[in-house]
Every structure is written in structure tokens, then in C-alpha cells.
Amino acid sequence: MPKYLLTFEKGEAVRWLGHLDILRTFERAIRRAALPIAFSAGFNPRERIAFASALSTGVTGAAEAAAVEFTSEVSGPELVARLNAVLPSGIRIRTAELIPEAGSRDLLNGFDRALYELTCDFDPENGPLVHLAIDEFLKAADVTISRSREGRTKLVNIRPYVYAMEALDVNAASGRARIQILVGLGEAGAAKPNEVIAHLALTAPGMRVRRAHRLALLCSANDAAGDVTAETPALECPAKLAG
């Protein structure tokens, strides 16, 4: 059955929708658009739709990724138009591409990088420390933080999963900074923007995330040089589509 990779925008109007809310919104939109969605087998069949990475509540996204499976083919432009006609304001399909059969099972797992733009507050008197905090983070070999889950706490070194970070603008007068950050996703290792900024606050007291916007989901290129800054959209990453 044909599968499609959708890229969509989660805008400000739906910023506070959680991942399950987004999933239900897509399920309703697919039904309202009368698209030939495929269903899973079993006692409680569900629409065959999956997302590359859950976007946290309160975080917006410019190009989120989802895969849907249909029982018959629909052209990309028609799929975009029919979904956008029934989706709520704030969620817009940007592209819909038919996924090649080879390697389609692992396509969403190919997204192992995320590029964010963060708007951060900081104590105005600590403006000069923002750049210093970023420089010290990037020079460090080990940035260990604690994570708690289901009553258990573990220590994790997130430094290997922060591939790039840059202050785009630091306004000491307003106590506001824009920071772009490229971090890892998935089982191979991940770093969360809030974790990174919390560590920066150890050097620049008062730093905290005010807004987080995910600009892109990317897949790392498997080049011989091991350049972690080389990324391509997953659908264009041959290593992920080789089956």
C-alpha cells in the first residue's frame, strides 16, 4: 500500500496542543477529507499514521514529519489540498511525497537531528555571560545532567549530542536572546533544548527558555569523514532508503 511522507507546520495557534492531540487532529482530518487511509490489524484497528518525533507541548515546528499509509494512491498536491481544507488553523501541510518502497520502514527513524531556534530570557546584568556560557559548553568534553523518569534518576552526558550552538542575537537591555541549536534525537542519543539552556544558566544566571521553535528535522549523512554537521532531509538521504 502506498505510503507518503508529510511535512507540516505546527504554528502558534496550536502551540499548546500535545502530541496525542496532534495525532487525534490528523486522524479526524483524514476522515473528514475522505482519504483512503489504511488501518492496522487487530482487535482495535487504528489509522496507519506515525510521526518522526513527538513535539513537546508549547513548542512550535516549521517542518515536522509524519508518514501515512493509504489503500490507494493520491497525488501529492491533492493530498496537501484536501488535508489543509479540513485541518484547524495553525496546522498546515507543506509537502506530501510518495515514499519509495525500499527502506520505507526505517524512514522516520532516519531523522536523528533537530534544529531549534530558542528565545531565551536572562537577567539583563548577565548579558555578557551568554556568549561565555555557550563557548564554555562547546569547549567542554562532558556536560552531565540528571534525568528523572518513573521515579528513577540517572546521569547523562549530553555534550556528544549537541552538534552546534550559536547566539543569533543577545539584547542585554531587554534580557532576551535568540539561540540556534542543533541536537540529537532518538535512541542513539538525544539532548533537549531545556537541558542545554539550564546548563548555560550555571554560567549566565537567569537563563531560561521562553519560546522554542523547531526549524527542521534532519538525518545525518553517513560520509566517510564522519562530519556531524552534514545533514540532509531524510527522504533525500540514500543511506536511509537503501533497504
Predicted confidence (pLDDT) per residue in 68-124, tens digit:
999 999 999 999 999 999 999 999 999 999 988 755 567 888 899 999 999 999 998
> Which H or E element spans position 7?
strand 3-10
Helix (H, G, I), strand (E, B) or coil at 177: strand
pLDDT at 238: 35
**228: which 3 cell numbers?**
556531524
d(CA 78, CA 35) in angstroms, rounded, equals 10
pTM: 0.87
Q: What is the mean pLDDT of residues 158-165?
A: 96
The β-bridge relationship of strands 208-220 and 59-69 is parallel
- Of 179 and 99, the one with more pLDDT: 179
81 CB neighbour count, 10 Å cutoff: 13
d(CA 215, CA 213) in angstroms, rounded, equals 6
pLDDT at 151: 82
Contact residues for 24 (Cβ-Cβ < 8 A; gap 6+): none
d(CA 204, CA 136) in angstroms, rounded, equals 11
